[in-house]
Amino acid sequence: MITVIGEALIDLVGDGTVYRATPGGSPLNVAVGLARLGVPCALLARLSSDTFGSQLRDHLRRNGVSLRHAVSAAEPTTLAFAFLDAEGSARYEFYVEGTADWQWTQDELPSPLPAEVTAVHAGSLAVALPPGAPVLEEFLRRERTRGAVTLSYDPNIRPHLCPDKEATRARVERQVRLAHVVKASAEDVAWLYPDTPLDEVLRRWTTLGPQLVVLTLGADGAVARQPDGPEVRVDAPTVRVVDTVGAGDAFTSALLAGLARRDLLAVLRDERAERLRHDLLAELLAASCRVAAFTCTRPGADPPTRDEVDLDALA
């Protein structure tokens, strides 16, 4: 089982007049994507007892995501207004003050994790915003030291909520050091390191601790690298884009699903293990790009099921 830790919020998507409330948040999207691809998963989130919290619970349960360790929270649900441009890219405005997702305390986190958990994915705003972010970071540090699960991380930066670029860069690098697998967008990397080429950041991050670093390049595909290994680059399929909401999260779900189905998550936890074969990594990246592209063909964060996409690399 893969446990995903982080926020579950409501996206309000509209045209400035009418808004549609849909479940969102990068960690929630990743968990739903994993479940739809047939991977047992759980979401460890703080879910409000308000009406939106009930909507989130219903959505997660309908999609087969376990809420065994989810926390019932008294605070309200986080809201994110999503504004789409002509190309379908979303700009977000978040309402986060005093909401449920960021109020983590140490006793709300399972210790130790259940034996069936083989990997933990974390990232996005839950590991960025106080007061809960330091609690989650310490939890990830303990799990890295314990060495029993593979840790996956996606910084998924929202610059207007993390305006101190130097502090954000230091935090992201700390969290990269804790992970075995890192996935980030080229957009995130360019914001963090505006004067450094992407391939140099990719190489540098592989020296910090991860055994696999993947950068998504939008319509240009994805590129990955392992420590002391060559770059592996794949193109993305061409599709008619409705919007790009949730595409990066769908990529993450597919990547983790592919690694899980091939029993490679534990391999990436072992620094002594051989690197993944070039052709195998390329297959995994290509399959993940197909899942992300499919998500772009319909509105909102609505990742495909395994029956909807040809995922030979996930078999």
- Quote the pLDDT of residue 183: 99
Contacts of 290 (CB under 8 A, 6+ apart): 237, 254, 309, 310, 311
Concatenating the DSSP letter of every residue in 194-224 gives TTS-HHHHHHHHHTSS-SEEEEE-GGG-EEE
Query: Alpha helices, DSSP H only, in 108-153?
Result: 133-146
Of 34, 10, 17, 9, which Cα lies nearest the Cα of 260?
A: 34
CA distance 85 to 88: 5
CA distance 123 to 179: 10
CA distance 285 to 306: 16
- Quote the pLDDT of residue 86: 66
CA distance 122 to 128: 11
CA distance 91 to 3: 28
Task: Find out whether 50 and 101 touch, Cβ atoms under 8 Å.
Answer: no
- Quote the pLDDT of residue 94: 93
pLDDT tens-digit series, residues 41-63:
999 999 999 999 999 999 999 99
Other CB atoms closer than 10 Å to residue 312's CB: what's the count? 9
Q: What is the pLDDT along the chain (315 residues), one digit of tens a residue?
A: 999 999 999 999 876 778 889 999 999 999 999 999 999 999 999 999 999 999 999 999 999 999 999 999 999 999 998 777 766 677 788 999 999 999 999 999 998 899 999 999 999 999 999 999 999 999 999 999 999 999 999 999 999 999 899 999 999 999 999 999 999 999 999 999 999 999 999 999 999 999 999 999 999 999 999 999 999 999 999 999 988 889 999 999 999 999 999 999 999 998 888 889 999 999 999 999 999 999 999 988 899 999 888 765 554
- Quote the pLDDT of residue 217: 97
Concatenating the DSSP letter of every residue in 9-21 gives EEEEEESSS-EEE
2-314 maps to CATH 3.40.1190.20: yes
**Three-state DSSP state, 155:** coil
**Environment class of 282 (CB within 10 Å of its CB; exposed 0-12, middle 13-18, buried 19+):** middle
Tokens coding 216: 């998504």
Question: Looking up tokens 């330091």, which residue turns up?
Answer: 134
* Cis peptide upstream of residue 197 (ω within 30 degrees of 0): no
Q: Please report, as a single letter, which amino acid is at residue 76.
A: P
**Three-state DSSP state, 88:** coil
**Three-state DSSP state, 83:** strand
Domain limits, the chain: 2-314
pTM score: 0.95
Question: Looking up tokens 């002509």, which residue turns up?
Answer: 86
